Amino acid sequence: MKKKKALVVVTLLMSLGLIGLVFKLQQVRASQKAAQTEIIVADQLVEKAVTLEKAVETEPVVKTEAVEVLDKDLWQKPTGGAYPEITWETQLRIVANITDQRIYFYDDQELIYTMVTSSGLDDEVNATPLGHFEIQNIRGESFFNGVLGEGALNYVSFKDYGVYLFHSVPVKADMSINIEEAEKLGTRASHGCFRLSIPDSEWFYDNIIEGTPLEITE
């Protein structure tokens, strides 16, 4: 009887031991699976990071340029501030830049003033000619072109004796300002001439003499 009890006890102990062993094995397997899952997740995160890094490296950089917004009333103002004094000692030369839509005035190598302008439209018919010129002896207080239906104030010729001019923003037949055209100052808008604000055109007319060298560039 004692032997049977002992055998039963041993059997129970063995069963419990097997159960414990199985439980431990299950725990070990679960731990291994969790570890494998963590490794897979980590690998996936690394892969995503590498992919994002490559995307950043290969994605083209888009550069944007600031667009200058000009005052619509600029045509009524001196566009470069107070005007310089021009004397017989001033070694004046003018550089007009089509891209900038600016006219630069130099005393020898020193920049002394900058004006906002409107040069010719960007087409074969109306484009302002490039090159080296001189201010010509053709000038006047106003004109009106019946064919174009517009005129200007304070004109000064620089090419073909009255064909290509510096002058004010456009005026109508009654010499009133064409506001719609005047507000385009600072953009390509003319038929080949250089448009200037009203005060700038007055100063140009009064101060820029015949023979002043002019360079027109892009």
Active site residues: 167, 193
* Strand partners for 113: 105
Alpha-carbon distance 101 to 128, whole Å?
11
- Region of residue 6 (phi > 0: left; psi between -120 and 50: alpha; otherwise: beta): alpha
In 3-state terms, what secondary structure has residue 85?
A: coil
- Give residue 194's identity as a one-letter amino acid code: F
Alpha-carbon distance 55 to 87, whole Å?
62
Alpha-carbon distance 29 to 40, whole Å?
16
